[in-house]
Amino acid sequence: MKHVAGLIALLAVCAALLRWLPSREARPAVAAQTLLAAKPAEQVAGFTISAGPDASWRYVRSKGQWRCLDAQGAFAEESAVQELLRAALETRGTPVPFPAAADPVWKLELQGSRLLEREDRHVLVSVELLRRFDGPPGGHALARVSGAPERVLDIDTDLAQLAKSAGPALPPLLDARLGAGCFDNSFRYFQRYFFDYTEGPSFEVRSSPRAEDPARLDWVLAEEGRAMPAIEWRAGGYGGIWIRAKALAFASRQRLAQLGLEPPFLTMVAQPDSGPALVIRAARPTLSRECWIYNETSGLLMQVDPALLEQILATPAMFTDASRPNPFERWLRK
C-alpha cells in the first residue's frame, strides 16, 4: 500500500508540473522576446559553464585565443565559442509559466575583464536553463536570467547543445587537436621533420620544391650520412597527425618527469612553411598503457591513444618502404 500511495503522489506531482508546461502547440501566440533585455556593459573576457554541482569549466581569452583553465589551459575551438556567445546574447523566446524556485540544469556565466581578480568572478550576466528538450534543428529550452526568476522564456536554441565536447573525458568546446594553437594563418604544410631518439639513431625527413613544378615537393630521408627518397604521401600523412589527431585528456606539466618525458623517448621537430617550429616530446607507454606527449610549442601535456603513439614514434621504413601500407593514410583524409 505504501508503494501504491507513493506512486499516486508522484503522478499528482507530474500532473501539476505538466500544467506549468503546456505544449508549444497549445500555447497562444505570444510575441518573441530577447532573453537578455540589455547586453553586458563591457566585452566578455571569460565565461563559466556549469552542468551540475561537480561539472564546471572556466574559460578565458588570452592573447586573442580562448583557453580552458580546467584543462590545463588547453585551447577552445574559436568558432564554437563564438557561436555559443552569440546565441546567449541574441537568443529570443516566448514567455512561459514555470515555478520560480526551480533549480537550473545548466548555467552559463559571462564574465568581464577582472574575472581573475574579483571573488565574484566579475559576472556580467548569467543564463540558466531550467529544462532542455530534443528536437530539430537543435532542440529548445526553458531559460531565464539569474536575478529574474519569474521571467522564463522558451528559447529556440538549446545553448547546452552548442557546448559540445570532443571526447568523454574532455570539457566542452575544447580544440583537442594535438597541434591546436601552434600554426599561423598562412601555414600550409610541413617541410621538414627531425626525429631525435634517446635510444637509437636520429633521422630527418626533409623536402625541396621540384624544379619542374615548385608547388610539388620532393622528399628525402637522411640517416647517418645516407640519403634515400621518401614517399611524398607518407610525409604529408605524418604532418596530418598534428593537424587532425586529437588528445584524449590533458594533464599538468608538473607530471612531465613522472610520465617519462624528462628526458623523453623521442623529441620530434616539425618545421612548417610559415611560423615557428612544432616541438613534440613523446614518452614510451606507462605500465598502465597510458601514452603521453608534450607539445613544447603550446605548452600542453596530452594523453593519446596507443595506436596513435605508434605512428608518432615513426621509423625510417614508415617513410620509405613502398611495400607496406601507408601507416599515416587516415590523416590524409579531411
Q: Where are the beta strands (DSSP E) in 134-265?
A: 140-145, 153-155, 190-197, 203-209, 217-223, 226-230, 249-251
Residue 18 pLDDT greater than 50, yes or no: no
Burial 240-251 (b: 16+ CB within 10 A, else e): bbbbebbbbbbb
Euclidean distance between CA atoms 135 and 128, whole angstroms: 19
Alpha-carbon distances, residue 145 vs 56, 101, 238 (angstroms): 18, 13, 48
Please give the model's pTM, rounded to 2 decimal places.
0.85
Residue 111 pLDDT greater than 50, yes or no: yes
Q: Are strands 140-145 and 153-155 parallel, antiparallel or unpaired?
A: antiparallel
**3-class SS of residue 305:** coil
Q: Provide the residue ranges of all domains of the chain, joining segments of one domain with +.
A: 35-162, 190-332
Q: What is the mean pLDDT of residues 146-165?
A: 91
- Single-letter amino acid, residue 41: A
pLDDT per position as a tens digit, 189-215: 999 999 999 998 899 999 998 878 877
Radius of gyration of the chain (CA): 26
pLDDT per position as a tens digit, 290-313: 999 999 999 999 999 999 999 999
What is the sign of the dihedral through the CA atoms of 204, 227, 208 and 317? negative
Q: % helix / strand / coil in the chain, to the nearest 5? A: 20, 30, 45
Instruction: Answer left, alpha or beta for residue 147, where phi above 0 means left and psi between -120 and 50 means alpha.
Output: left
pLDDT at 59: 97
